[in-house]
Structure 1
Amino acid sequence: MNATASQSGVPVAMRWSLHFLTFGILIFLAAGMCLAQQTNPSKARVTPESDHGPGELLSSDALRQFNSSLIALARKVSPAVVQIMVTGYAPAQATGRNNNTAVITREHVLGSGVILASDGYIVTNAHVVEGAQRIQVALAERGGTSPFDISPVGRRRVLEARVVGSDKETDLALLKVDAQNLNALPLGATRPAYPGEVVLAVGSPEGLQNSITMGVVSSAWRQLDSDQGMVYVQTDAPINPGNSGGALVDLDGYVVGLNTFILTEGGGSEGLGFAIPARIVQIVYADLRKYGHVHRLQIQANAQEITPTMAEGLGLSQDWGVLISDLVPAGPADKAGLQVQDIVYAVDGREIAGLPGFTAAMYLHSQDTPLKLDVLRGTQKVSLLIGAQQQHDVEDDFVNLVDGHSLLDRLGVYVVDLNDKLRAALPDLRRPSGVIVVAQSSELNSAISGLRAGDIMHTLNQIPIDSVTQLRAMLRDLRLGQAVVLQIERAGKLQYVAFEWGE
């Protein structure tokens, strides 16, 4: 990152380029805080100098107790936090005019994960395993107190893992390994985190497995973008590249959050770490384990956080809350009578103060019942029942279809056949046959063709394309300098892409 850049979110999955960072140890500071809370200096007993030195307080017992509790906690949680090693393809930063297209590069990634079930279910961040071709999980080794206790790398228990499902919106993924009787951690989904609460961050920063840092909860529900409903647990516990997917635990050993990213100007921890709250992890984990994807409700309406400026300019009756800014014509919300500039003040009987609450209520809503919205329309209160639909964006899964066999090296894109499963997931296709572009390769020149992720190639020089195998054969027969015209479907519209065939 440029030194002049403003603070930005950095996912903390570690790439192979290692930088050696200094890890701050906050144990004595936190111990002093605990000591200040547990000991009243005015009532402390002063012992004779012959026993403890001049004026020494009998506060060392509390310090030792706190120290012992941290050691016990570390021993409890460490075996359930794993190191994740990924080899595969992942998006790289695209450049040029079409910088919104998926650009793929081959890479190795190190991250962390938390075992949530003893039969091998592990939760991590979606960005850690995105585009993975091979995922390995290294279980934690028994900790030691001397060099003689260190286990050699060759004795680590490493298991092959597969992706059960992932959800990009929450940046969560679920893995499965074939193992039993693993150490697991409970999710503190019903235990609210409190600002000032002591927490430990456990993971593999910079590839250093079983690293533990300590801090406090800086904010229990931090919304970083007013237009996005996602919220995080903010902590000052040092988090660095490689901590992605690791556990943020309270002093009872419950997972209060899954470490995900940091805000930094220097690339390392600056005391601004963010974890996905346990309640969100629990909801997504349950859906991924049962269905392989998240059942997300969609009423086909856009909601925004109200700001004072927006309220003044639109003449709204209040300067806070959630505003309906758009409706899809003939969609569920439109049919139910919801209107643009309605202010949502309750969902399913839960009062809504802002976008995070609105998003949470949508997650918590039962799939089998209509969604109840209470809105303020001018000064009038209106109640609506909306038959919400389930939403699953198949485009989010495109990068997971990438493998070495899907590369068309002469075009610099990865493609897959348009099979029945993809057709069912893309009901608005203009034509039923073709080949789907799932990503571009950053190592090859795809600028000439102009193809993007999500494009569906239907014909090449007016010849229908039925499969990747057929397309490869057609490309082999092209002459150098020959005109190539692809008919593609992009965002529901048919168009032509023309270029000359090069070497």
Structure 2
Amino acid sequence: MNQKFSLLSAAVLAAMLLAPASPAQASLPFFGKEEQQMPSLAPMLEQATPAVVYVSVAGSREVRQRMPEAFQYFFGQRGQGEMRREQPFRGLGSGVIIDAKKGYIVTNNHVVQDASEIQIRLKDGRTFTAKKLGSDPESDIALLQIEADNLVELPLADSDKLRVGDYAIAIGNPFGLEQTVTSGIISSLSRSGLNEGFEDFIQTDAAINSGNSGGALVNLRGELIGINTAILGPNGGNVGIGFAIPANMMKNLVEQIVEFGEIRRGSLGIRGNDVNSELTKALNLNVSRGAFVGEVLPDSAAAKSGLKSGDVIVSMNGNRIHSFNELRAKVATLGSGREAILGVLRDGKERDIKVVLQETTSGQVAATQLHPMLQGATLNNADKGVEVSSVEAESPAAQIGLRQGDIITGVNRQRVNNLAELRRLLEKRDGGVAALYIQRGNDQLYILIR
């Protein structure tokens, strides 16, 4: 037994000595004399952990409860067996600084959803109030911003180059315990089916628990490879199965929020399913993974590019596609108007097809993110400005005169073409009054907000 242990130890040491040194490891001394140190991730983590922040939120959510029969009878609401009320909440999570100059912080949408107050605490103890610039519930990403000096950001890795077996380190605040670090490996890639959104998860056995949501998954160089988002375990506890949103997907979504103020979802316009053994046998395919095209929708991006039913999509922009869900997630989060090169297997031969993605219905933006007096309105980008798609009765937005169907085309005589421009103009006003120029049917009017 001792001999086997010695041989195993020698093998592990040899592997460590012979393995190519990463930048994080290059300066690390190894086992040996007393003056030498043990191998350690500490130097890398000393650089990376200041970029991971503690997120605390507060707000209120609508709670629905069944109304007792006696109450229904008493209040004359028989048959309306539901009561609605606002319930305050508080929550904790993690976030990652991705742009130190602009103060951009990425976290999960579910961490900050419905929050009216978002506080960010840095590793050095400083605390700031954050503003939510935008979010995407379907991919569970939110972008925050703080105004602060001397921030530290995490560089992004190319998450499409990850391999099963690569080392992964999770940094976050599980159960409110600040700056906790766990390590493991990449257990699987392109996981989906956890929820109903756009999923292309990295699976890792690095311990992820409640409160890690929105934190960083990094490689041995301290580069961000994913945003921790979910765990699979009883009662929210870690069982070695955690999931992270790939850094490339997050980057695409953040770029859309910054440029447009919303997510402009990409669409290919196909229906299909995964390539499996039955399909491979029936169609005599020479691949075992990919996205099978069962139908190409008329006038879609796929139809315009020349895709055909029966094609098998095996790659996108040079990266292998393993399933239809993976293709769906990558297309949706790449964004409309973007160009993609699809590797397509047709008649036993692989070819490249260039496609320009079209836009699907994108997520709406709550106007309270832009200005408190717009609370209760929901906004969408329109052809000639920003459309008010809904207004809650008796809300601040309704009280200042906004109506469903209004188009905001300007602020203080400056043209507004999209949500991003509306946000920038409202931020530049430095207090005082902002005059919203409104197109309402054939009428034009101003609405003032303070």
**Is the TM value for this pair above 0.5?**
yes
Question: What is the alpha-carbon root mean square deviation over aligned residues?
Answer: 4.7
Query: Is the counterpart of residue 80 in structure 1 residue 38 in structure 2?
Result: no
Q: In structure 1, what is the equivalent of residue 99 of structure 2?
A: 117
Q: In structure 2, what is the equivalent of residue 53 of structure 1?
A: none
Which runs of structure 2 are paired with 1:209-358 in the superposition (5 Å)? Answer: 209-219=178-188, 221-223=190-192, 230-310=199-279, 315-318=282-285, 320-334=289-303, 338-347=307-316, 352-355=321-324, 358=327
3-state SS of the aligned residue for 2:38?
Answer: helix
| AA of the residue aligned to 1:424 | A
1:37 to 12, 21, 40: 12
TM-score, normalised via structure 1 length: 0.58
3-state SS of the aligned residue for 1:239?
Answer: coil
- Deviation, 1:159, is 0.3
Show structure 2 runs of 5+ residues with no match.
Answer: 1-7, 17-29, 67-83, 402-450
Structure 1 pair 399–300 and aligned structure 2 pair: CA distance change class (3 A): farther
Indicate conservation of the 8 Å contact 2:292/2:311, yes or no. yes
For this pair of structures, how many residues does the alignment match?
A: 360
- Deviation, 1:334, is 3.9
- Deviation, 1:381, is 7.4
TM-score, normalised via structure 2 length: 0.64
Indicate conservation of the 8 Å contact 1:198/1:251, yes or no. yes
Considering Cα pairs closer than 8 Å and 6+ residues apart, tell me whether 1 or 2 has the greater RCO: 1
Q: In structure 2, what is the equivalent of residue 424 of structure 1?
A: 382
Show structure 1 runs of 5+ residues with no match.
Answer: 1-32, 42-57, 96-101, 142-155, 407-414, 438-456, 458-466, 472-503
Partner Cα distance (2:296, 2:160) in 1: 36
Partner Cα distance (1:288, 1:423) in 2: 12
Q: Percent identity?
A: 29
- Deviation, 1:265, is 1.8
Structure 1 pair 229–363 and aligned structure 2 pair: CA distance change class (3 A): closer
Partner Cα distance (2:85, 2:343) in 1: 43
* Higher alpha-carbon Rg: 1
Partner Cα distance (2:320, 2:182) in 1: 37
Question: Residue deviations 1:252-292, cap 9 Å, x none?
Answer: 22222221111002421111111222232333333333333
Question: Residue deviations 1:421-453, cap 9 Å, x none?
Answer: 5483899xxxx998556xxxxxxxxxxxxxxxx
- Deviation, 1:126, is 1.4
Indicate conservation of the 8 Å contact 1:348/1:361, yes or no. no
Q: In structure 2, what is the equivalent of residue 185 of structure 1?
A: 154
| AA of the residue aligned to 1:121 | Y
Indicate conservation of the 8 Å contact 1:132/1:400, yes or no. no
Indicate conservation of the 8 Å contact 2:49/2:179, yes or no. yes
Structure 1 pair 165–321 and aligned structure 2 pair: CA distance change class (3 A): same
Q: In structure 2, what is the equivalent of residue 66 of structure 1?
A: 38
Which runs of structure 2 are paired with 1:168-179 in the superposition (5 Å)? Answer: 168-179=137-148
| AA of the residue aligned to 1:127 | H
